[in-house]
């Protein structure tokens, strides 16, 4: 397994961290639902249709539980949960008659926290290399 990185050159010394070079992960492509269903079906005794049905059920139950306010945990992978983005509002506004919490909510975010074990696994097993498209660091 190899993660590809590209180099980003920051020439603005006023930007966070100052001038220099940072590394950024470069995607190896999109791994789709169908690709995963095929791979799982080939690695076990279930049919592709059974695998796809189980994956669909997993997704639907995950969405439902998230909308109910639950965190959803996948053993060995991590935990999904919802965050609310809201505007800072004076306390007096909240105490006024007719106040609706929806007026201060800007949106929602789906967050993921990987288990510590998976972070360790990645650190122990992943190798990093510079992608072909990356330009060399200027001298």
% of the chain at pLDDT higher than 70: 90
Return all residues near 28 (Cβ < 8 A) that are at least 6 apart. 4
- Answer whether 130's CB lies under 8 Å from 98's CB: no
Q: How does residue 134 score in pLDDT terms, banded at 50, 70 and 90?
A: very low
14: pLDDT confidence band, cut at 50, 70 and 90? confident
Whole-number Å distance between alpha carbons of 98 and 87: 18
Asked whether residue 5 carries a pLDDT value surpassing 50, the answer given is: yes
**C-beta of residue 117 within 8 angstroms of C-beta of residue 123:** no
pLDDT tier at 27, thresholds 50, 70, 90: confident
3-class secondary structure, 131:
coil
CA distance 61 to 65: 6
d(CA 127, CA 4): 9
- Domain ranges, ordered by start, for the chain: 2-107+116-130
For 88, 93, 94, 133, the CA distances from 97, given in Å and listed in that order, are 18, 9, 8, 59
Residue 53, number of CB atoms within 10 A of its CB: 13
Q: Are 50 and 38 in contact (CB under 8 A)?
A: no
């Amino acid at each position: 397994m190899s993660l590809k990185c590209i180099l980003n050159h920051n020439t603005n010394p006023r930007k966070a961290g100052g001038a220099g070079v940072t590394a950024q992960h470069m995607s190896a492509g999109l791994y789709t639902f169908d690709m995963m269903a095929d791979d799982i079906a080939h690695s076990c005794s279930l049919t592709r249709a059974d695998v796809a049905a189980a994956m669909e059920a997993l997704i639907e139950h995950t969405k439902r539980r998230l909308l109910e306010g639950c965190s959803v945990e996948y053993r060995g992978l991590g935990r999904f949960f919802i965050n609310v983005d809201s505007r800072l509002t004076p306390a007096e506004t909240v105490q006024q008659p007719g106040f609706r919490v929806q007026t201060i909510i800007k949106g929602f975010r789906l967050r993921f926290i990987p288990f510590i074990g998976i972070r360790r696994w990645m650190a122990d097993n992943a190798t990093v290399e510079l992608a072909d498209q990356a330009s060399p660091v200027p001298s």
